[in-house]
């Protein structure tokens, strides 16, 4: 069986580390299967996602505002270097389709796969596609419709839908034969819009063993004890205060991963870290403060003390992760920080192993059923996926 993985990973606007790592890990999982003879990432460019040159990505948004333009000019050199390092990671560590596709091109040619996996991230969030859903992430184009389709760990972001969006969503949910969601609040919405089983599963990063990332992890770029602050969006002032106060109280220096060059005035900031450097920075930190889902996931994986901090656009995705692992006190709403009790890692690991086994069993069932249906020439196995609708993550 040849599998095509499709997500936003190759065209993440802000060069998000997690967007790359979850797809890298998912490809590793497919490679371990005896019934998958080939697995590649489909180079799909969603409408409006063409960033053009990384040299102009921030600058063209700030024209007409001299102060913001100056900030964009300061950010750009580091962003360009990070872009180059991401591209090098793609070419060295990920198998990507030889062809690149737009939505229009997918309407004109059938893809050469036996199964398609719409994998993780905010692929089912209209907030990322100008208020609509991208039909490619449901398999709507003519070139995708004949191929069996699995949604693994799909995300809706904040999952705030209008009535019109709910109806659009309801129609698109008819297309994937197998549906699983990353956030439990999103699963609840999807179950109201389809009669198909909807499973709750883990993000692919949490399906990994920590050692899985060793081959792509760089040597530690920082010596000594430090707190890692990882910001995917500009942190609110209260976040900066929390980080500085915690670091001072625990005798830690602050190291940051972000694009915000001006933060270098406060502490050491990596604006152009490669994927391997980023992993090393998380793995070796004493504590991690982030407004990022995958900053939270990797902290769980590496047993780092962490706090997941709400940002201006919300934080519902990683609040869900904290709740799932009984760590709600590690989610910090605005101006509400207080130190939490030490994490019981034995309990967290036991929960993660339970969820991991359930998630892999669901995925295995979907892929095996597709292989079986393919032999029989039957592509109607959607309702037969081995998931349940139980609220306790039963798969």
Domain membership flag for residue 362: yes
Domain membership flag for residue 394: no
Give the integer Cα–Cα distance in Å for 49 and 290: 25
Residue 115: partners with Cβ closer than 8 Å, 6 or more residues away: 1, 2, 3, 4, 147, 148, 149, 150, 367, 370
Residues 342 and 358 in one domain: no
Residues 42 and 188 in one domain: yes
Structural domain including 289 reads 215-346
CATH code at position 60: 3.40.50
231-267: per-residue pLDDT in tens? 988 888 888 899 999 999 999 999 999 988 888 888 9
pLDDT on residue 49: 67
The count of structural domains within the chain is 2
58-112: per-residue pLDDT in tens? 777 677 678 788 888 888 888 899 999 999 999 999 999 999 999 999 998 889 9
What would the DSSP string read from start to end of 50-87? Answer: ----TTTTTGGGSTT-HHHHHHHHHHHHHHHHHHHHHH
3-class secondary-structure state, position 297? helix
Mean pLDDT of the chain: 90
The residue-averaged pLDDT of 219-240 equals 92
Residues 262 and 142 in one domain: no
Residues 310 and 326 in one domain: yes
Residues 379 and 267 in one domain: no
12-36: per-residue pLDDT in tens? 777 899 999 999 999 999 999 999 9
Residues 276 and 176 in one domain: no
Domain membership flag for residue 69: yes
305-355: per-residue pLDDT in tens? 999 998 766 789 999 999 999 999 999 987 778 889 999 999 999 999 999
Q: How far is CA 272 from the centre of its chain?
A: 19
Residues 203 and 220 in one domain: no
Q: How far is CA 12 from the centre of its chain?
A: 10
For the entire predicted model, the pTM comes to 0.91
């Amino acid at each position: 069986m040849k599998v095509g993985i499709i997500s936003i990973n190759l065209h993440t606007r802000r060069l998000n580390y997690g967007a790359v790592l979850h797809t890298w890990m998912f490809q590793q999982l497919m490679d371990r299967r005896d019934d998958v003879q080939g697995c590649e990432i489909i180079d799909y460019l969603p409408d409006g996602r063409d960033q053009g040159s990384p040299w102009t990505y921030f600058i063209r948004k700030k024209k007409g505002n001299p102060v913001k333009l100056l900030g964009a000019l300061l950010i750009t050199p580091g962003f360009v270097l990070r872009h180059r390092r991401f591209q090098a990671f793609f070419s060295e560590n990920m198998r990507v389709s030889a062809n690149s596709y737009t939505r229009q091109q997918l309407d004109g040619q059938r893809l050469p796969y036996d199964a398609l996996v719409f994998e993780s991230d905010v692929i089912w969030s209209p907030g990322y596609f100008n208020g609509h859903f991208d039909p490619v992430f449901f398999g709507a184009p003519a070139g995708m419709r004949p191929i069996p389709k699995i949604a693994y760990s799909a995300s809706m972001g904040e999952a705030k839908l209008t009535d019109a969006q709910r109806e659009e969503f309801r129609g698109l949910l008819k297309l994937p034969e197998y549906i699983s969601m990353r956030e439990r609040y999103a699963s609840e919405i999807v179950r109201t819009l389809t009669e198909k089983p909807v499973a709750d599963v883990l993000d692919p990063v949490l399906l990994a063993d920590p050692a899985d990332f060793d081959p792509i992890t760089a040597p530690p770029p920082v010596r000594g004890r430090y707190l890692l602050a990882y910001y995917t969006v500009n942190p609110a002032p209260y976040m900066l205060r929390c980080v500085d106060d915690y670091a001072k109280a625990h005798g830690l220096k602050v190291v940051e991963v972000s694009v915000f060059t001006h933060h270098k005035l406060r502490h050491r900031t990596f604006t152009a870290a490669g994927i391997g450097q980023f992993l090393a920075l998380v793995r070796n930190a004493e504590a991690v403060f982030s407004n990022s889902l995958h900053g939270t996931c990797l902290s769980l994986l590496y047993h780092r003390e962490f706090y997941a901090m709400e940002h201006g656009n919300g934080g519902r995705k990683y609040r869900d992760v904290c709740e799932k692992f009984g760590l709600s006190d590690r989610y910090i709403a605005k101006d509400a920080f207080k130190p939490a009790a030490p994490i019981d890692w034995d309990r967290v690991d036991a929960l993660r192993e339970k969820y991991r086994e359930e998630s892999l069993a669901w995925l295995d069932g979907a892929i095996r059923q597709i292989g079986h249906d393919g032999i029989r020439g039957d592509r109607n196995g959607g309702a037969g996926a081995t998931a349940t609708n139980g609220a306790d993550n039963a798969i």
